[in-house]
Structure 1
Amino acid sequence: MNPPIELPLGNDSVRFTYDGRVFIEDAIKALTGEKKQEPARVWNKIKKDHPTVLTYCSSYLTSEGDKIQTIDVEGMDMIFQLLLEYM
Structure 2
Amino acid sequence: PGQTFAIGTEINMVNRLAAEHPEHTIFCLDPVICPCSTMYRIHPGYLAWVLEELVEGRVVNRVSVPSDVAEDASVALERMLTAVPRA
TM range (shorter): under 0.3
TM-score between the two structures when normalised by the length of structure 2: 0.24
Q: How high is the TM-score relative to the length of structure 1?
A: 0.24
Higher strand share: 1
